[in-house]
Chain A
Amino acid sequence: MAVAVSLSLKARANPLEFAAEQLRILSEPSNLPAFDEKVRSAGLFPLTATGITVFQINVGKLCNQTCHHCHVDAGPDRKEIMTRETAELCIHALAQTEIPTVDITGGAPELNPNFRWLVEQARALGRHAIDRCNLTVLLLAAQADLAEFLAQHRVEVIASLPYYRAAQTDAQRGAGVFDKSIEALRKLNALGYGREGTGLVLNLVYNPVGAFLPPKQESIETQFKRELERQHGVVFNRLFTVTNMPISRFLEFLLQTGNYEGYMERLANAFNPVAAAGVMCRYTISVGWDGTLYDCDFNQMLELPTGFGAPRHIRDFDAEALNRRRIITANHCYGCAAGAGSSCAGSIT
């Protein structure tokens, strides 16, 4: 059952706004082995990076939506956004490397005034740019030319759409979001996004609307393609399945609905060593809105910066040191290693 949310945890002064409180809860599920024990049994301990191929920049928590499951606790009431100075440090660091992909996320990253500058700079460096888009941002009056900007710069759009029906999508993302998302998808399709031969890539993200694991990616992708084209004339390239992380507002949902322990058990029982070996933190570096470095966007929200001697701020970026760094883990990591695995690029196996 959906939890009524219209403000962020922070705005509601909910104790879960604090990373320490989330980590306290995550460390305490009964009958749950520590994630590191599972990693050790899979012969992967300690988990280390294998080289960075994705430079992920979280430009802030500001968003025009307040989704029930948001791991960022983003929303219109959040004001933490990356400054131009920090964005310049990101581009400076990127230029020192050959990391091929720049993945820009948020919040709604497009609402950061430096978003377009970041895209232009990344593209000027010859890097592939990804915009993690909530779709409805494309319909804001102030963003009327956003879709054209993305197409002009050949930006890959990875857009959230948890289901191909309104009831499920709106239950997670807010009333009316599905219809607006379809309108935004049509706008992207009209520019050539998602259409063969254009090179404009439009990928969608499925994540479960509730306390269960995602389906097999290829199976649900077939359903999405059939239903979105049949019902709405919308096309896209690929569907990425993503598991909900038991943190932030999804953790609130789990606790409020009595699903927390069952969900954690489900994740732990579905631990997949092959997925664990391919988790995205091993090839990603995640930069926070204030320039702090993290192993992934989830660690970022839990305020778990890079550790074990690796650089901790973008101003100290050192690709050599970060490429082989040891990863910081906790029990939320079960989310990425369960079942077929989960990453920002969908299932792992």
Chain B
Amino acid sequence: MDGYYHSADLARFPEMGKGNKELWEKFSAYYAAVFAGGALTEREKALIALGVAHAVQCPYCIDAYTQACLEKGSNIEEMTEAVHVACAIRGGAALVHGLQMRNVAQKLSM
């Protein structure tokens, strides 16, 4: 993660509050509420977050939610499956757009 991203910057995330305290506080409260146990457990939410982190390819989120998943009691097999879910959705999203390609090709072709 050396280069554009720096691991140490994750701990500086709250500095975003310096630009707009009110929005940061609203975001922080919302974020905390989202990840609290509810209909889904904290462990399940961390696994979802890990998958999404890979889908959006956020290195900070990958660091944070790998650790969070371990600290919620998940194991490497479950975490790997979460990443595969992200992979399948991203890959599937590309592939299903093949229908757009087919629609356009069909319209243009004799």
A-contact bits for B73-96, CB 8 A (1 contact / 0 none): 101110000000000000000000
B-contact bits for A218-255, CB 8 A (1 contact / 0 none): 01100100000000000000000000000000000000
Identity of the chain B residue whose Cβ is nearest the Cβ of A164 in the assembled complex = B75
A137: min CB distance to chain B, Å: 26
The interface residues of chain B lying within 8 Å CB-to-CB of A168 are 75
A162 CA / B32 CA spacing, docked (Å): 29
Chain B: interface residue count, which band? 10 to 19
Q: Check if A214 is an interface residue, CB within 8 A of chain B.
A: yes
Q: Check if B54 is an interface residue, CB within 8 A of chain A.
A: no
Known: A219-B41, A219-B42, A219-B43. A165 touches B75 (CB 8 A): yes
A213 touches B42 (CB 8 A): no
The interface residues of chain A lying within 8 Å CB-to-CB of B76 are 167
A216 CA / B36 CA spacing, docked (Å): 12
Q: Check if B25 is an interface residue, CB within 8 A of chain A.
A: no
Selected interface stretch from B13-21, B64-72, B99-107:
B64-72
The interface residues of chain B lying within 8 Å CB-to-CB of A219 are 41-43, 72-73
Identity of the chain B residue whose Cβ is nearest the Cβ of A214 in the assembled complex = B71
Known: A219-B41, A219-B42, A219-B43. A212 touches B67 (CB 8 A): yes
Q: Check if A215 is an interface residue, CB within 8 A of chain B.
A: yes
Of A210, A215, A220, A223, chain B has the most CB atoms within 10 Å of the CB of A215
B-contact bits for A162-175, CB 8 A (1 contact / 0 none): 01010110000000
The interface residues of chain A lying within 8 Å CB-to-CB of B70 are 208, 210, 212
The interface residues of chain B lying within 8 Å CB-to-CB of A165 are 75, 77
A163 CA / B43 CA spacing, docked (Å): 15
Number of chain A residues whose Cβ lies closer than 8 Å to a Cβ of chain B: 14
A261: min CB distance to chain B, Å: 11
B75 touches A215 (CB 8 A): no
The interface residues of chain A lying within 8 Å CB-to-CB of B73 are 215, 219-220, 223
The interface residues of chain A lying within 8 Å CB-to-CB of B42 are 216, 219
A-contact bits for B14-50, CB 8 A (1 contact / 0 none): 0000000000000000000000000001110000000
Between A and B, how many residue pairs show CB distances below 8 Å? 28
The interface residues of chain A lying within 8 Å CB-to-CB of B67 are 212
The interface residues of chain B lying within 8 Å CB-to-CB of A212 are 67, 70-71
B-contact bits for A186-218, CB 8 A (1 contact / 0 none): 000000000000000000000010101111100
The interface residues of chain A lying within 8 Å CB-to-CB of B75 are 163, 165, 167-168
A187 CA / B42 CA spacing, docked (Å): 34
A20 CA / B47 CA spacing, docked (Å): 41
A220 CA / B71 CA spacing, docked (Å): 10
B106: min CB distance to chain A, Å: 50
A34 CA / B62 CA spacing, docked (Å): 30
A296: min CB distance to chain B, Å: 24
A33: min CB distance to chain B, Å: 15
A294: min CB distance to chain B, Å: 29
A215 CA / B43 CA spacing, docked (Å): 9
The interface residues of chain A lying within 8 Å CB-to-CB of B71 are 208, 212-215
A120 CA / B76 CA spacing, docked (Å): 44
A208 CA / B72 CA spacing, docked (Å): 10
B83: min CB distance to chain A, Å: 18
A223 CA / B69 CA spacing, docked (Å): 14
A54 CA / B39 CA spacing, docked (Å): 39
- A sample of 28 inter-chain contacts (CB < 8 A) reads A163-B75, A165-B75, A165-B77, A167-B75, A167-B76, A168-B75, A208-B70, A208-B71, A210-B70, A212-B67, A212-B70, A212-B71, A213-B71, A214-B71, A215-B43, A215-B71, A215-B72, A215-B73, A216-B42, A216-B72, A219-B41, A219-B42, A219-B43, A219-B72, A219-B73, A220-B73, A223-B43, A223-B73
Task: Give the interface of B toward A (CB within 8 A).
Answer: 41-43, 67, 70-73, 75-77
Task: Give the interface of A toward B (CB within 8 A).
Answer: 163, 165, 167-168, 208, 210, 212-216, 219-220, 223
Q: In the complex, given contacts A215-B72, A215-B73, what are 14 additional A-B residue pairs having Cβ atoms less than 8 angstroms apart?
A: A165-B75, A165-B77, A167-B75, A167-B76, A168-B75, A208-B70, A208-B71, A213-B71, A215-B43, A216-B42, A219-B42, A220-B73, A223-B43, A223-B73
